[in-house]
Amino acid sequence: MEPALGLLCVHAHPDDEVIATGGILARYAVEGLRTAVVTCTNGDRGEIHNMDADATRPRLAEVRRAELAESLRLLGAGEPRLLGYRDSGMLGTPGNDDPASFWRADFDQAVGRLVGQLRAFRPDVLVTYDAFGGYGHPDHLQAHRVALVAAEACAIPALYPDAGDPWRVRKVYLATIPRSAIAAANVELARRGLPSPFGEVQRPEDLPFGTADEELGAVVDVRAQLATKLAALRAHRSQLDPTSFFLNIPADLEELAFGVECFVRQRSDVVASGVEDDLFAGLRP
């Protein structure tokens, strides 16, 4: 019997798996497909909320791994799969210079580690960040680069021969946010007198990040998984500022904010045109 189709998401830090792809992970797990997440860093330079910062900082990587495990359990995405690097911190911070950080990782080594994960799990669909890493974080940028190269290298027997048997990933997507959706959210939040995590820009063409609508390759409805996605987000307790947008969005805007997840179609081995509503379109029996 052939194994179920598989989705693997490549993310930078614990909690990123929820924000960008929690809906698809939960949806496809419910549908009986195989789902997994590779997390590139241990998140040890993240913020600390809801617990004693001084006591938690030395063990933050351990705390965040436990939070990741709970999030993945709720999403149905298996156990944590860690690439083994330190968090690089935000752009321009001292962590960027740490030789153990993902930003400073030997690129060939990082690709080889991810190739090993891909060949072990054998996904049909791979998802990572867009070219800007969503918002320009060094670890997100690096995850994008490493994931795209690994997605091609894992199919070539001569590359990383010690990392397992070759495997062809059949579809690759980049998680993103449409600029039009960001602008619309900013307009609505401003109308209600609420702060936006995206700043105050209200015209899509003025945004320095996100994706133009015409570049979208897939928009997946995850409204049925909304409660699961939000529960998985709350599992990352150390990262949730009580004033966070994610915790304080009005209930009537939750579906608008989190009800669909959007992607650029990087490549596909099956014929694809227009905007898909399923990342497995063309692959299902």
H/E stretch holding 138? helix 138-153
Once rounded to an integer, what is the mean pLDDT over residues 97-121?
97
Q: Give tens-digit pLDDT for 179-205.
A: 998 888 888 888 888 887 777 777 878
pTM of the full structure? 0.95
If asked whether residues 183 and 172 sit together in one domain, one would say no
Give residue 1's pLDDT band: very low, low, confident or very high (50, 70, 90).
Answer: low
Does 122 map to a domain? yes
Amino acid at 166: P
Instruction: Give the domain range for residue 198.
Output: 179-211
Give residue 61's pLDDT band: very low, low, confident or very high (50, 70, 90).
Answer: very high
**Quick one: tokens of 142?**
């690096």
Does 236 map to a domain? yes
Helix, strand or coil for residue 228? helix
If asked whether residues 158 and 61 sit together in one domain, one would say yes
Give residue 267's pLDDT band: very low, low, confident or very high (50, 70, 90).
Answer: very high
Does 138 map to a domain? yes
Compute CA distances 42 → 9, 66, 165, 189, whole Å: 16, 11, 27, 33
> What is the percent of the chain with per-residue pLDDT over 90, rounded to a whole number?
78
Q: What is the CATH number of the domain that holds 241?
A: 3.40.50.10320
Does 145 map to a domain? yes
